[in-house]
Amino acid sequence: MAADPTAVSGGAAAGAAADLIADLPPAPGVWCSGLRKRYGRRPAVEDVSLEVGRGEVVGLLGPNGAGKTTVIKMLLGLVQPDAGEVMLLGRSASDPAARARVGYLPELFRYQPWLSAAEVLALHVRLTGAGVPAREQLESLSLVGLRDRAGDRVGGFSKGMQQRLGLAVALVAQPELVILDEPTSALDPLGRADVRDIVLDLKGRGVAVLLNSHLIGEVERVCDRVVILDRGRLAASGSLAKLLGQREVRLHLTDVSAAAQARLAATGELERAGDWFTVALPADDDATTVPDLVGDLIAEGARVHAVEPTRISLEDRLLGILRAGHGGDR
């Protein structure tokens, strides 16, 4: 039997302890440490740790087969980890009650085809044990644009509609943590924009959101932080500002002497395409790097035609991280 999460035994000591706990900041939506999973001899996930705070949107990125969905399933107890620890909303995930306030949209979204959309929502509300009135349940359907189809059998829904229904299922029982696994894979551009708005709304209401998506643009727009997985391992993680903080400058140069080229290379990582040179700027750039570099290049006899500051996109950054990780075998 699951314990009642609100049950606190009597006594002054327990009361004092409860006050103490109430004063603490709320536990993160998800916290996991050292997750590991092997399928046979093939390691699927190796030593993955991550955290999603309340009101934070974290994107899970990585190529196919990186272990993103396996990590999500381990968080939800759908896949048993070989090692590691998971806490959901401050409770150990080994207790099913930890999932009481968790909404989940699986990558493989299928719902009982012989139930209507409204019945699927009612079933999930009952399974959660949350007393969500029917009117509010219908509001979840309105949110995903399925209000008019509430009474229709799910078996007749298109993939996009089933995914919208899945989103409503994830949101219906007043979740404090929402895990969305490829939530827009079957949606049209309008649906994707809806999902973006929904995620930002959840964030605004202090809900923790873990978003697994292939669409980097989508992640870039809504996520505060990203976690990049590659071949089951954590390849990089951090805030978007940190991951994208690195800037570059593109220069169109002619008459570049060996000394000028050495000066460019000394500034940062250098790429050359014809007369265009791209130099990565150091993270601690205090706005003197570019004017100093240009001054020195002119002094070395180079002719400067253009200087363009650029920002690295998340996509470039992701590809850079993944290519660096695969450097040994490519």
Tell me the chain's radius of gyration from C-alpha atoms.
25
The number of residues that bind another protein (CB under 8 A) is: 32
Least Cβ distance, residue 232 to another protein (angstroms): 15
Does residue 98 bind another protein (CB under 8 A)? yes
Between 15 and 155, CB nearer to another protein = 155
Spatial CA neighbour of 231 closest among 159, 327, 154: 327
Between 111 and 277, CB nearer to another protein = 111
Phi, psi of 145 (to 5 degrees): 80, 25
Among the listed ranges 96-104, 229-237, 254-262, 281-289, the one in contact with another protein (CB under 8 A) is 96-104
Rule CB under 8 A: choose which of 50, 61, 169, 195 binds another protein: 169
Least Cβ distance, residue 308 to another protein (angstroms): 48
Q: What x-and-dash track marks residues 248-277 binding another protein by CB under 8 A?
A: ------------------------------
b/e sequence 23-33, b meaning 16+ C-beta within 10 Å? eeeebbbbbbe
- Residues 309, 278: Cα–Cα separation, whole Å: 10
| Dihedral sign of CA atoms 95, 98, 100, 103 in order | negative
Least Cβ distance, residue 170 to another protein (angstroms): 8
Does residue 127 bind another protein (CB under 8 A)? yes
Least Cβ distance, residue 286 to another protein (angstroms): 49
- Residues 60, 49: Cα–Cα separation, whole Å: 12
Does residue 166 bind another protein (CB under 8 A)? yes
Are the C-beta atoms of residues 72 and 62 closer than 8 Å to each other?
no
> Which amino acid, one-letter code, is at 141?
L
How many C-beta atoms lie closer than 10 Å to residue 180's C-beta?
A: 27
Between 209 and 236, CB nearer to another protein = 209
Residues that bind another protein (CB under 8 A): 1-2, 73, 76-80, 96-100, 102, 104-106, 108-112, 114-115, 123-124, 126-129, 166, 169
